[in-house]
Amino acid sequence: MPRAMTSARVRVAVLVAAGIALLSTSPTTQAPPAGSAPAPAFDISGYWTSPLHEDSMERGAGPEIADYGGFPISEAGRLFALSYDPSRLTLRHHQCDGYVMPYQLRALGNSRAWEERDPHTHTLVAIHWFSQTFEGKRTIWMDGRPHPPAYAAHTWMGFSTGRFVGNALEVRTTHLKQGWFRRNGLPESDQATTVEFFVRHGDHLIHTAVISDPVFLSEPLVRTTDFYRQPIDHQSWLFPCDDGEQILGRAPDDVPNYAFGQNPFVGEYSKKHQMPAIGQLGGVATMYPEIEARLRSARMGDGMEAARPTGPVVTSKAANPEPTDGDVHIWPLREKLYMLTGDGGNIVVQTGDEGAFVVDTGTGSLAARTIAAIRRLTDNPIQFIANTGFHSDRTGGNVALRAAGADPSLRGTFFSLQFRNAGSQATIIGHQNLQNRMSEAGMNSEGFPTDTYLEERRRTFHNGEAIEMMWQPNAITDGDSIVHFRRADVIVAGNVFTTTQYPFIDLAHGGSVAGEIRALNEILNRTVYQHQEEGGTIVVPGRGYVSDEHEVVEYRDMVVIVRDRIRALMKGGATLAQVKAARPTADYDARYGATTGRWTTDMFVEAVFRSLSDSQKQAK
Amino acid sequence: MKQVRWAALAALLIATTFGIVARAQRGGPPGPRTPQQAAPTDLTGYWVSLVTEDWRYRVVTPPKGDYTSVPLNPAGRKVADGWDPARDNAAGESCRAYGVGGVMRLPGRLHITWQDERTLKVETDYGSQTRLLSFTPPASAAPDWQGASLATWDRSEPVIGGGFFGPAPAAGGSLKVVTTGMKPGYLRKNGVPYSAGAVITEYFDRFNVPDSDPLLVVTTEIVDPTYLSQPFWTSTHFKRQADATGWNPTPCRAQ
């Protein structure tokens, strides 16, 4: 063999050896830099199908009525579910309700997951999961971004962030809408948060959800769901839904529901399955092994007392969505509209080529910061201030904001010939009754509306947008308005709608429960959802987080249902004390209730009671 | 030719040496570790089942013929429809629902310990059963309710690993258990059957839930062509307890 050829073979062998050595050593050099996120432990991408080998009735045809066994629900959760009438789904604003995560993941149907990578670094930015049923699309952010503030909007899928821990994908979710644990009325509140774990074993994906809900659960609910990887496209991904008229001629304040203890179907499950109520009606005890022995010795009716309010009075377990750091925070809504929050009541600012159009001014204790925040949004002056109500959380900053603004549209008019200072301050718009109430209350006249209206609506076209201000007679007071920015499609609801408390029905200033329901329905008459009762028209509550029609309809339902209960008790001859003792708000108190402060549960119940009494007197 | 052989030998030596050095640099142990030492997750302790799924089928004995959710084939349905708990009792088989195919779904507590460094022991208080999950292939024995379970640690690893082709195995892992050689039993207490020929594959995953108790999720796949028309999948979850609170051994009951 020629010497040159032998040397070449030696060189090749050494190169191979070096290559093998490199293959062995490279992992050390490929270790991720300190502090970076762990690399994905598995690939979740692909088509997934859940085999429905657990809870197939519930997840397929549907659960049985009043079957809550194994759910660690609170009294509020149980009473809400027992009050639920499935006919509620015939209401226009419920027909296309989406599924809330994680209920969505247990639904029948196909799923698809894919990764989103940074195009330059190829680091994992997000994992996307699409479920066919109700076209639920969620994004799990993997790039370390923070969750949005508590006053941001809630969605069916919530806001999720993830990280890989060991061999699992761990996901945290907040900002969920109110939805279902089970679609027989068992509710998951908008205060629920979840921690989830995904693990993959070959073509088998297991999803574990730990759901904490301070309103409707007493302990976290754990659910595990299996998926199997499909090698081909399911070719079935859509779930269209448009609402329509299902029951003609129904009154707009008709929300199907059962009074406490009056659900006629509660006993069906018990009878069919010979299941004592202590199991059927759920609660923490039903998910632990000891329930098996208890059920062996229980009689059929045992535990049925839980179908009525029996527990102690509770107060709101909801997190306060308003910042309390002494600053005014800006949150973009849509186009050139912003929500300012932090001064005790939400403020909305529209900017553009003309001056700023501001709706409500907060309590005024942070007025200087509110003005500074508006200056950050626009160089133009505050030109208009619209008030949705006369209470101090709507008008408290009127004087300061008015003084800080100017209304150029008044300069050079006949008006300015009559009044030397015309246009030197912002113009305040409100219903005439609002001005009357401010005057009666002895509020600073510098903050009174300077431009009032008397009937139906006030309209203007400002900053390239139609703005309507609509009177809501006898709702919170007799001078409330809602404001609709029509191009941006943002409705500012004032205290007619909040996410923080029962409606502050101010009987002494012309409020009524009927007017409040009418006002909420007026908002719902104007909203258009984008997809499955979500998105579309933005509704800014007087207090609380940015909403859409789903939050409004749940709130409307609550007011109607509480009214129905109190009205039924009154028909039975109950006194105010007896009505309060019956706890007609028992399923909502953990969300909105209060025993101290400016607006307690008792005050709300009394306001509804007296409002209904007044209506009865007027009818006679 | 001789030079080539020497070069090949040298190449192998270099590769082996660098490989060992590299593994040592990655922190790998010099010798084999026992399964207990190599455990990527700690499954030991007391665990209480949280019965939040298939609730009615697990906390009470469902009526005969109610096998909703289980993909039984006609032979399986025939057996389920003929369930007779009195017959099971008379035959001394009151533990048929407490075998490996059904016991993890029953409402109870688990106590998981290392029997030795190669065997995990899973005891149940409900029905007082003991499962031995061995990391060594178990010797053949007469079938019993829990069968022979072969355990391995299951980690997410690249198919082609090392060097240019992929990263080191992912951190963490699961316990994988494959069980065969058991007596026929019931998937549910009302006589929904699995056969002696079933192959039962389980994954035990522990999740450390932030600000809460750890969870154990046991994912089960039962392949049984005798009675099932397709693999039967369930996932069953347990919450870790700090101690033996609630541990209440009970005997098997046929109904």
Distance CA B147, CA B122 (A): 13
pLDDT one-digit tens code per residue, A481-533: 999 999 999 999 999 999 999 999 999 999 999 999 999 999 999 999 999 99
| Ordered DSSP codes for A510-558 | T--HHHHHHHHHHHHHH---SBTTBSSSEEEESSSS-B-HHHHHHHHHH
Q: Which segment of A219-223, A496-500, B33-37, B165-169 scores lowest on mean pLDDT?
A: B165-169
- The whole-number pLDDT of residue A328 equals 98
Mean pLDDT of A457-486: 98
Q: Which segment of A1-10, A269-278, A448-457, A486-495 scores lowest on mean pLDDT?
A: A1-10
Cβ contact (<8 Å) for B70 and A286?
A: no
Contacts of A195 in chain B (CB under 8 A): 209-210, 212
- The answer on B235 and B162 residing in a single domain is yes
Mean pLDDT of B175-188: 98
Residue A356 near residue A407, CB atoms below 8 Å: no
Q: Is the dihedral of CA A248, A254, A260, A262 positive or negative?
A: negative
- The whole-number pLDDT of residue B23 equals 44
For the segment(s) A46-53+100-230, the CATH number from 1.10.1060, 2.40.128, 3.10.450, 2.60.40 is: 2.40.128
Contacts of B26 in chain A (CB under 8 A): 27-28
- The answer on B54 and B157 residing in a single domain is yes
Q: Three-class SS of residue A419?
A: coil
- Inter-chain contacts counted by CB atoms under 8 A, chains A and B: 232
- The whole-number pLDDT of residue A407 equals 96
Calculate ∠ Cα A197-A218-A97, nearest 5°: 65
In a domain, B253, yes or no: no
Single-letter amino acid code for the residue at A401: L
Cβ contact (<8 Å) for B18 and A14?
A: no
Single-letter amino acid code for the residue at A561: I
pLDDT one-digit tens code per residue, A362-395: 999 999 999 999 999 999 999 999 999 999 999 9
Which of A9, A17, A228 comes nearest B10 by C-beta?
A: A17
- The whole-number pLDDT of residue B7 equals 52
The alpha-carbon gap from B142 to the nearest alpha carbon of chain A, in Å, equals 31
- The whole-number pLDDT of residue A26 equals 40
Share of chain A above pLDDT 90, in %: 87
A466, β-bridge pairs: A461
- The whole-number pLDDT of residue A36 equals 64
Quick one: B248 exposed, middle or buried, by C-beta within 10 A (0-12, 13-18, 19+)? middle
- The answer on B87 and B17 residing in a single domain is no
- The answer on B168 and B77 residing in a single domain is yes
Contacts of A51 in chain B (CB under 8 A): 230, 233
**Residues contacting A116, CB < 8 A, separation 6+:** A124, A125, A126, A127, A128
- The whole-number pLDDT of residue B6 equals 54
Mean pLDDT of A87-102: 94
Going by their DSSP bridges, the two strands A136-141 and A159-165 should be labelled as parallel
Calculate ∠ Cα A457-A460-A465, nearest 5°: 120
Residue A163 near residue A142, CB atoms below 8 Å: yes
- The answer on B98 and B24 residing in a single domain is no
Cβ contact (<8 Å) for A55 and B53?
A: yes
- The answer on B153 and B72 residing in a single domain is yes
Mean pLDDT of A136-164: 97
Cβ contact (<8 Å) for A67 and B52?
A: no
- The whole-number pLDDT of residue B5 equals 56
Cβ contact (<8 Å) for A289 and B173?
A: no
* Stretch (H or E) spanning A168: strand A168-174
- The whole-number pLDDT of residue A28 equals 36
pLDDT one-digit tens code per residue, A96-123: 999 999 899 998 889 999 999 999 999 9
Share of chain A above pLDDT 70, in %: 94
Distance CA A346, CA A348 (A): 7
Return the residue in B52, B54, B212, B213 with the most chain A beta carbons within 10 A, the one to mutate for interface testing.
B52
Q: Which segment of A159-163, A225-229, A231-235 scores lowest on mean pLDDT?
A: A231-235
Cβ contact (<8 Å) for A224 and B108?
A: no
- The answer on B199 and B131 residing in a single domain is yes
Q: Which segment of A39-53, A404-418, B132-146 scores lowest on mean pLDDT?
A: A404-418
Share of chain B above pLDDT 90, in %: 78
Cβ contact (<8 Å) for A210 and B212?
A: yes
- The answer on B119 and B19 residing in a single domain is no
Contacts of B60 in chain A (CB under 8 A): 273, 275, 279, 292, 295
Give the total residue count for chain B. Answer: 255
Q: How far is CA A522 from the centre of its chain?
A: 19
Distance CA A234, CA A420 (A): 73
Tokens matching residue A557:
């339902």
Confidence band of A618 (pLDDT split at 50, 70, 90): confident
- The whole-number pLDDT of residue B22 equals 44
Contacts of B222 in chain A (CB under 8 A): none
Which residue shows structure tokens 């925040």?
A373
For chain B, how big is the Rg over CA atoms in Å? Answer: 23
Cβ contact (<8 Å) for A295 and B23?
A: no
Q: Which segment of A59-63, A282-286, A559-563, B86-90 scores lowest on mean pLDDT?
A: A59-63
- The whole-number pLDDT of residue A4 equals 47
- The whole-number pLDDT of residue A416 equals 78
Domain with CATH 2.40.128 in chain A: 46-53+100-230
Q: Which residue of B has its CA nearest to A40?
A: B170
| Ordered DSSP codes for B211-251 | TS--EEEEEEEEE-TTTBSS-EEEEEEEEEESS-TT---B-
Is a pLDDT exceeding 60 seen at residue B14? no
- The whole-number pLDDT of residue A12 equals 52
Cβ contact (<8 Å) for A24 and B15?
A: yes
Residue among A606, A391, A371 nearest A494 (CA): A391
| C-alpha torsion angle, residues A138, A143, A144, A146 (rounded to 10) | -50
Return the residue in A6, A292, A297 with the most chain B beta carbons within 10 A, the one to mutate for interface testing.
A292
Domain with CATH 3.60.15.10 in chain A: 329-619
Confidence band of A195 (pLDDT split at 50, 70, 90): very high
- The whole-number pLDDT of residue B13 equals 45
Angle separating helix axes A549-571 and A601-619, nearest 10 degrees: 60
Cβ contact (<8 Å) for A70 and B234?
A: no
Contacts of B163 in chain A (CB under 8 A): 22-27
The alpha-carbon gap from B57 to the nearest alpha carbon of chain A, in Å, equals 10
Q: Which residue of A has its CA nearest to B28?
A: A28
Q: Which residue of A has its CA nearest to B255?
A: A296
Contacts of A23 in chain B (CB under 8 A): 162-165
Which residue shows structure tokens 């609910």?
A221
Q: Taking all residues of chain A, what is their mean pLDDT, rounded to a whole number?
A: 93
More confident residue, B163 or A102: A102
In a domain, B1, yes or no: yes
Which residue shows structure tokens 């692909």?
A46
The alpha-carbon gap from A309 to the nearest alpha carbon of chain B, in Å, equals 24
Look up residue A403 and give its DSSP letter. Answer: H
* Residue range A329-619, CATH number: 3.60.15.10
Q: How far is CA A394 from the centre of its chain?
A: 22
Confidence band of A21 (pLDDT split at 50, 70, 90): very low
Contacts of B12 in chain A (CB under 8 A): 17
Q: Which residue of B has its CA nearest to A8?
A: B4
- The whole-number pLDDT of residue B31 equals 72
Q: Three-class SS of residue B139?
A: coil
- The whole-number pLDDT of residue A8 equals 53
In a domain, B252, yes or no: no
pLDDT one-digit tens code per residue, A4-13: 444 555 555 5
Distance CA A553, CA B35 (A): 57
Q: How far is CA B97 from the centre of its chain?
A: 17
What's the total number of domains in chain B? 2
Q: Which segment of A481-490, B26-35, B137-146 scores lowest on mean pLDDT?
A: B26-35
Angle separating helix axes A513-526 and A549-571, nearest 10 degrees: 150
- The answer on B117 and B17 residing in a single domain is no
Which residue shows structure tokens 């005050």?
A603
Contacts of B172 in chain A (CB under 8 A): 41, 165-168
- The whole-number pLDDT of residue B139 equals 84
Quick one: B30 exposed, middle or buried, by C-beta within 10 A (0-12, 13-18, 19+)? exposed
- The whole-number pLDDT of residue A18 equals 47
Boundaries of domain holding B82 = 34-241
